[in-house]
Chain A
Amino acid sequence: MGEVAVLGIGMHPWGKFPKKNLNSICRVAVDAALADAGVNWKEVGAVAAASSRFSGGKGWGLNGNDIVEDMGSTGLPVYNLSAGCAAGANAFNVGHMMVASGAHDVVLVVGGEKMPKGFIQTSGLEDETDPEYLRQRCVGLPGPGFWALLTRQRMEEYGTSHEDLAAVAVKAHKVGTHNENARFRQLFSLEDVLNSNMVSDPLRLYEICPVSDGAAAVVLCSAEYARKKASNPVWAASSAVATARFDDGLPRGLGCVPSPGRTHHSEARISVAKALEAAEIGPKDLDFVELQDNTVYYELAFPEEWGMCEPGQSESLLHKGETLPNGSMPINPSGGFLCFGEATTAQGLFQICEVAWQLRGEAGERQVPGAKIGMAQSIGLGGNGTAAVLKR
C-alpha cells in the first residue's frame, strides 16, 4: 500500500445559516481545500462524500453527486458513504484506501450538512421492527439521555462530580474561543455551565453539543503526486473503521448481552487500536487527539479506554491543565463538538482539518506546541467507529 498525503484542507465555518443552501456551504469548503492543495478540480480522480439524511443528496444521500454537479461533471467516480455521525470519517477511510491502493492519485473527501432544529431524533421511522423507534415509543430516551446514562455510570464508578463535568466544557471553550471556524466561541465559567439548564440528568445544556450547519473538505493524494506539490506535506499514517461487537455493553436498541468489564463503545476502542497499530505507535505517543465529544463524558472516558491514560485519571489531568494544547495530553484543541456543534456528517472531516492545521503549526492561539502526530476519532449511529492518525 502506498503512502497517502493530506495535501489540502478547507472548511466552511460552523453555525446556523438559514439563508445559505447546502451546495454553497460545501462549495466554500471544497474550493478552500483545492486551493490549499494547489489542485485543479479536473485533476481530482474520485470523490468520497458523506451521505446525509438531513440535507441535500436528492433525498437519497447522494451528497457527493451534488458536489460533482456543482464543481463540474467530469465523469469521475463518486462514492456516497453513510455511517451516521461517522460518515465524514468513513468517507475519509474510503478516500484513503483509494489512494493507498493506487486506484487514484488525487481524491476529494467532503462532508457538509444543514441540520434541522432541535436535538437529533435518531430515527425517522415509525416501524416496530426498528429498535430506535421502539426505544422512543416504549421507553423515551433521546440522544442526550443515552449519553447521560454513560455519564451517571462513570460518576458512580469513578466519583466524577458535576464540577468535573462542567470543567470539561469550561476547558473546551477556553480553547475554542481562538478558533474562527467554531460556532460557540464565548468563554464560560464553571458557574455558567453549572447554572445552564439540566437536560438529561446529570448532563446540562452547556455539557452537550447542539446541531449546527457546516462543511469540510480534504484533498488526499499519493506520495509521488505530493512531492510535485508540497515540500513537507502532512501524511495520513493510518485510517481505520470498525463496528461495535456483539458483546458490547451499551444497548443500541432495547437490550444487549454485555461481556464483563467496561465493554461499551467497542467500535471506538477497536478502530482506535487498529489506527494506532497501523501507524506503528502506542496511545501515549500521540501529541494530541481530536475525539468525538458529543458530551463532556467522552473527553473523560475515551482517553482512558484507549490507553492514553489510566482509568479514573482523566479528571485530575483535566484539572491540572494537561488536556489543554500546552499540556501533556492535549484533547480537542479545536474546541471540539462542544464549540462547533454537530453538523453530523461533516464532523469527521472538521477533525481531519484541525489535526492537519495543528501538524502544520498553523493553529495560532490553540496550537499544540511541536505537534508531530495526532489522531481524529468519530462514532456514529449503527455502531460505526473510525480513527485516523496523521503525522508530519
Chain B
Amino acid sequence: MTDSSPVHAAKDLFVETSDGPRLLGSRCETCRAPYFPSSEACHNPDCDHSDIQPAHFGPHGTLWSVTVQNYPPPPPVVASDPYSPYAVGLVDLETDGLRVIGRLHVEDPASVKVGGPVELVLAPLGQGQDGHEVISWQFEPR
C-alpha cells in the first residue's frame, strides 16, 4: 500500500486555528508592512527600524483578478488527475494590506467573478508525484 496521507504543499505557510484557517506570515511593527511568506527583516525602504513579528492573515478578501489555467503545467505544480482546469486569483485581504495569490476552491472555475468576496480555506490541490495528497491554501468565493 502506498501512503497517500495528506501533506502540506510547503512548510510554515498556513495553519488551522480555532477561528479557521490563516496564512502564516509576519508584520513589521514599525511600519505595519505585512509579509507573506514571513520575512526576517522589513524590506520597506521608507521604514527605518525593522521590527518583525509573526502574524496571521485572512480569512476574508476581495478578488482583484482571476485566470483559468487551461492546460496542465509541469511539476512542481500539483493538479487533479485526470487534469481539469483550475482558477487562480489575486486576492486583496481585508484589513491586512496584503495582496496574495492563491488557487480558487470552486466547482466551476469559469463562474468566478472579479470583485467578489472570497474566504480562505485549506484544501487539496491534487496528488503529488510521490502519491501524497497535497494541501494548500485556497480561496473560496462567497
Contacts and interface: CB of A to CB of B under 8 A. Distances in A.
Q: Do A and B bind each other?
A: yes
B15 interface: no
B87 to A, nearest CB: 8
B88 A139 contact: yes
Q: Interface range on chain B: under 10, 10 to 19, 20 to 34, or 35 or more? A: 35 or more
Q: Which of A139, A153, A257 has the most CB of B within 10 A?
A: A139
A246 B46 CA distance: 9
A251 B10 contact: no
A71 interface: no
A134 B43 contact: no
Nearest to B74: A121
Interface in A126-152: 126, 128, 131, 133-142, 145, 148-152
Contacts of B78: 137, 140
Contacts of A141: 67, 69, 88, 101
B132 to A, nearest CB: 13
Given A153-B64, A251-B90, A142 B43 contact: no
B141 interface: no
B41 interface: no
Nearest to A256: B99
Nearest to B135: A138
Interface stretch (A35-43, A181-189, A199-207): A199-207
Interface in A212-230: none
Interface string A16-30: 000000000000000
B10 A128 contact: yes
A149 B71 CA distance: 16
B114 A156 contact: yes
A140 B114 contact: no
B37 interface: yes
B67 A149 contact: yes
A283 interface: no
Interface in A309-325: none
A198 interface: yes
Contacts of B79: 140
Contact of B137 (A128, A133, A138, A258): A138
A200 to B, nearest CB: 5
Nearest to A148: B67
B136 A201 contact: no
A198 B99 contact: no
A145 to B, nearest CB: 5
B99 A257 contact: yes
Interface string A240-265: 00000010010101111110000000
B73 A258 contact: no
A258 B66 contact: no
Given A199-B71, A255-B99, A137 B77 contact: yes
Nearest to A156: B114
B69 A200 contact: yes
A122 to B, nearest CB: 12
A152 B89 CA distance: 10
Contact of B70 (A118, A133, A200, A257): A200
Given A140-B78, A149-B90, A134 B70 contact: no
B103 A139 contact: yes
Contacts of B69: 140-142, 145, 200
B45 interface: yes
A153 B103 contact: no
Contacts of B9: 137-138
Interface of A: 118, 121, 126, 128, 131, 133-142, 145, 148-153, 156, 197-203, 246, 249, 251, 253-258
10 contacts: A131-B37, A138-B136, A139-B88, A139-B103, A140-B69, A141-B67, A141-B69, A151-B67, A200-B68, A255-B35
Given A137-B10, A140-B79, A246-B43, 6 more contacts: A152-B114, A153-B64, A197-B70, A253-B37, A254-B13, A255-B99
